[in-house]
Amino acid sequence: MRVGWIGTGLMGEPMARRLLAAGHRLAVYNRTPSRTRKLVAAGAGAAGSVAEAVAGNEVVVTMVALPADVEQVFLGPGGVLAHAAPGSVVVDCSTSSPELARRLAEQGAERDVAVLDAPVSGGPAGAEAGTLSIMAGGDAEAYARVRPLLAAVAATVVHHGPPGSGQLAKLVNQTLVAGATLAVCEAYALAHRVGLDPELVRESTRVGVAGSPLFDFLWTRLAAGDLEPGFKLDHFIKDLALVREAAGESPLPGVGLVTELAERARAGRGGGRGTQALVTAIMERAR
Ligand code: NAP
């Protein structure tokens, strides 16, 4: 397929690389152009603008950051919907607002462009290995057309229903991620406090009932004192806000607590660190 790819960050870059490896032809655009260098060296075409990435392509994939960024990339001047070819499919893989996903699908339909929401789970390692899980929403016929493309980056692709339902499924996933991230960071703080060797704890825990890919990923980084992001605090806090919005009046006490800790971990140190930095807020609270 001829694909326009927008957003080559921690997730977008390895996802785009898998599509290239699967034989698709890509035109890649990133706001900071230097971040497309590796993909261009691997055979992708360089697009100098969103319009250039979109023009003439049968499929466009966006992988940006916050709902405001998605809105800007789709609806801003020179945005995706102004340039997408009639009959094309645009797939937003960012974790974004279900309400925005519905609005983009409606505005796309007015121009004969199908807009699907297709957020992902699995982190940069899953993107590199092509083992992501994709939660899709939107027009079923358009979904069927791009499913083979999505399967090049994912082990599992599920269509949840109408526009916005992929984002809703991802927010359910992020509710689980919130609880699991808190659990791993809290357990790490305890292991540290009682003087256990984190590597030995990892060895005995990972194969038991409490083991998980998220445990492995976060614990390994914590044990190495590495707070670089696989998943940025800024994006975690964005997801938690979307979860609370989706829940409306229904209380989600765990999500409230994780939000408070994540905001404390971000305060004064920026949101570019990884979610494992939650441990700093837990340890500071203990002091
Ligand atoms: P990232 O490394 O920060 O990359 C974000 C990308 O979006 C960058 O290429 C950035 O361009 C671009 N961008 C941001 N705002 C933009 C704007 N207004 N206009 C144009 N481009 C813009 O983030 P990421 O970790 O890849 O995450 C991307 C999305 O996937 C987020 O919605 C995140 O919540 C979700 N997600 C992340 C993970 C994970 O583990 N990392 C897992 C699942 C889902 P620049 O290079 O110019 O900044």
Domains 2-162 and 169-286 share a fold: no
Q: What angle do CA 102, 171, 147 make, to 5 degrees?
A: 65
pLDDT score, position 268: 86
Helix (H, G, I), strand (E, B) or coil at 274: strand
Domain spanning 2-162: which CATH class is it, in words? alpha beta
Which residues sit with their C-beta closer than 6 Å to ligand 1?
7-12, 30-32, 35, 63-65, 69, 72-73, 94-95, 120-121, 123-124, 230-232, 235
Q: Give one DSSP letter per residue of 16-53, joined into a string.
A: HHHHHHTT-EEEEE-SSGGGGHHHHHTTPEE-SSHHHH
Task: Please indicate, yes or no, whether the overall pTM of this predicted structure exceeds 0.95.
Answer: yes
Q: Return the domain boundaries, the chain.
A: 2-162, 169-286
Q: Look up residue 209 and give its amino acid.
A: V
pLDDT score, position 287: 73
**CATH fold for domain 169-286:** N-(1-d-carboxylethyl)-l-norvaline Dehydrogenase; domain 2 (1.10.1040)
CA of 9 to the centre of ligand 1 (A): 5
Smallest CA-to-CA distance from 160 within 244, 107, 90, 101 is with 101
What pLDDT tens digit does each residue of the chain (287 aa) get? 999 999 999 999 999 999 999 999 999 999 999 999 999 999 999 999 999 999 999 999 999 999 999 999 999 999 999 999 999 999 999 999 999 999 999 999 999 999 999 999 999 999 999 999 999 999 999 999 999 999 999 999 999 999 999 999 999 999 999 999 999 999 999 999 999 999 999 999 999 999 999 999 999 999 999 999 999 999 999 999 999 999 999 999 999 999 999 999 999 899 999 999 999 999 987 77
